[in-house]
Chains A and B, each alone.
Chain A
Amino acid sequence: MKAKKYLPFIPVFVAYLALFLIGETVSGIWQLIAMLAFYCALGQAFNLFMGMTGYVDFGYVAFLGVGTYGMAITISKLYSHGLGFGLIAIGFALAIVMSVLLSLAVGAVALRLRGAYFAIATIGVNEGFRYLIEGAKLWNGSEGIIFSGPLRMAFGRQTATVLTTFAADVFVFIIALAAAFITLVYMRGKVGYALTALREDEDAAKVMGINVTKYKIIAFITSAALAGLLGASAWALKLTYVYPPDVFEITYTVEAIIIVLLGGAGTLLGPIVGGLVYGLSKYLLAIILPGFQLLIFAPVIIFIIVTFPEGLVGFVKLKTRGTWLENYIV
């Protein structure tokens, strides 16, 4: 019985494994696969909050941004201490700490607001944080942090290259899997129960005795911590620099929203499907019709959302209800 609860994790695992193996075997495709994995992971982490609570956080990219800084600061300050791979571990830990602290600060204020007011309140978070870093000359201000040198000095040229070109992407896969697993654990436990109630009707959730603030904060913090990890690997480790306008770019938030809506908000497989559809179409459109991709993309997204208001996975989920597949498609 208990194991059955986690059956839906099988298709998730298979999907990511397949994606990884394709990237490993087909030559010259790894960068595309890494991009797709990033979008899937972004959707997976974002879905944990938006999909499960119904709240849209327009400042989400800020969590990735501070996570990127967490890794950058760690490597640029501690590289000479001979910590070995402990350096990377400390970087991830600091990324989590920083994104969680930011999520607590934002959540304490914004989570008191509902619906559209929450979205508006969060919209300024990333811009505000970017200008704070630039204006207050925090962490090198607008110059950002470049740490490819320190990384090479800490690990040697060869290991550093493996870290940036391969390990950083593998971490993204791991983060995506972790995000999916946590989503499933939440869904199948008391947290999911409470979040479903509050997503459907917050007042009704309250009269049932659900501490809505507590569960909103749990989902918010978890989602932010995963975003921090994602920034630390996909941006900091991979690119070996951090530059404020890049890591606080609102486009990534919008992409996260699109991915979650395409795949199906609040579903487990949705972010994978959404991430793949979004990433692939963005990639292909940029090749076929460079410059016009956004013009074509907008109507495609409108079409999908009008045709499948529950998202692609949400649609399939409804269709497979009552069949053996319902144990897997969640």
Chain B
Amino acid sequence: MLKVDKLVSGYGPMQVLWEPSLNVKKGTITSVLGPNGAGKSTLLWTIFGTVKPWSGKIYFEGRDITFTPPHEKVNMGMTLVPEGKHLFKGMTVYENLIMGAYRKEAEEKLQENLELVYTLFPILKERAQQKAGSLSGGQQQMVTIARALMTNPKFIMLDEPSQGLAPKIVLEVFETIVKLKEEVGLTILLVEQNAEASFDAADYIYVMHEGHFKAEGRPEDIRKSKEVREAYLGI
């Protein structure tokens, strides 16, 4: 579904991505693991187009989208769930979700998607009229994911969904991500520092270090390979 070929990008004169190539198959969860500063978030924001690629190619469903602007990518069914809490804190949960349905197609499917989101996250239905900023960290993360679903996507990228969450909540978030794949039929690319959680959820894993992919494979294999674990994941 998504194919990235030798992507190079960075900020100002500083190169961050050193030609990683990756392939995300339709209906799977692909996870990019790596320590802080490995370039994981930059990878996502470059694929999305907020950070401009210097060279390399990005294909989405066979189309070259290397230089397609972000809003058009959303129209093609791609979106990104940003790290941390990029929510509209002063608005209610419901207003946040409605904001997600900005695109025309998303607006048409508003009710349908709202029901889907409320089924996936019943707590958000209860808290619909509450200010988003007053929710707990885990619930805020759910609002961010839910708002992304309101854009009616087929492919979503998640930037460190476990960041700043208690271990028990991390588990919940990852269960939801698996549900997104199995019940909603989404294709997912996520980047994570939390290796253990990713191993259980992901179908395929890339290990990133200093802008390169150092290893890739199925979770069982990555989990087993001692070098990878010691060198890059510290577990």
> Known interface pairs A200-B90, A201-B87. Does A207 touch B82 (Cβ–Cβ under 8 Å)?
yes
Say yes or no for B31: interface residue by CB 8 A criterion. no
Contact of A201 among B71, B80, B88, B100 (CB under 8 A): B88
Contact indicator B69/A208 (Cβ below 8 Å): no
Say yes or no for B81: interface residue by CB 8 A criterion. yes
CB A227 to nearest CB in B, in angstroms, measures 28
Contact indicator B88/A211 (Cβ below 8 Å): no
Residues of B within 8 A of A194 (CB): 102
In the complex, A211 Cα to B81 Cα: how many Å? 17
> Known interface pairs A208-B102, A209-B103. Does A203 touch B151 (Cβ–Cβ under 8 Å)?
no
In the complex, A194 Cα to B102 Cα: how many Å? 8
Contact indicator B148/A207 (Cβ below 8 Å): yes
Residues of B within 8 A of A196 (CB): 99
> Known interface pairs A193-B102, A203-B50. Does A208 touch B74 (Cβ–Cβ under 8 Å)?
yes
- How many chain A residues have a CB neighbour from B under 8 Å? 15
Say yes or no for A206: interface residue by CB 8 A criterion. yes
Contact of A207 among B81, B91, B106 (CB under 8 A): B81
Say yes or no for A210: interface residue by CB 8 A criterion. yes
In the complex, A274 Cα to B216 Cα: how many Å? 60
Residues of A within 8 A of B162 (CB): none
In the complex, per-residue mask of A181-193: 1 if CB is within 8 Å of any chain B CB, else 0: 0000000000001
Contact indicator A197/B88 (Cβ below 8 Å): yes
Residues of A within 8 A of B147 (CB): 204, 208
> Known interface pairs A194-B102, A204-B82. Does A209 touch B148 (Cβ–Cβ under 8 Å)?
no
In the complex, A194 Cα to B71 Cα: how many Å? 12
Contact indicator A197/B102 (Cβ below 8 Å): yes
> Known interface pairs A200-B90, A201-B87. Does A210 touch B148 (Cβ–Cβ under 8 Å)?
no
Contact indicator B103/A197 (Cβ below 8 Å): no
Q: What size tier do the contact residues of chain B reach?
A: 20 to 34
> Known interface pairs A200-B88, A201-B87. Does A207 touch B48 (Cβ–Cβ under 8 Å)?
yes
Main secondary structure of the interface of A (DSSP, over half): helix
> Known interface pairs A197-B88, A201-B88, A203-B50. Does A208 touch B99 (Cβ–Cβ under 8 Å)?
yes
> Known interface pairs A197-B88, A200-B90, A201-B87. Does A207 touch B79 (Cβ–Cβ under 8 Å)?
yes
In the complex, A194 Cα to B48 Cα: how many Å? 19
Say yes or no for B86: interface residue by CB 8 A criterion. yes
In the complex, A196 Cα to B79 Cα: how many Å? 19
In the complex, A326 Cα to B178 Cα: how many Å? 43
User: Chain A: residues with CB nearer than 8 A to chain B?
Assistant: 193-194, 196-197, 200-201, 203-204, 206-212
Question: Would you give 7 A-B contacts (Cβ < 8 Å), ordered by A?
Answer: A193-B99, A203-B86, A206-B50, A207-B82, A207-B148, A209-B75, A211-B71
Other A-B pairs beyond A206-B70, A210-B102, 10, CB < 8 Å: A200-B91, A204-B82, A204-B86, A204-B87, A204-B147, A207-B86, A208-B79, A208-B103, A209-B70, A209-B74
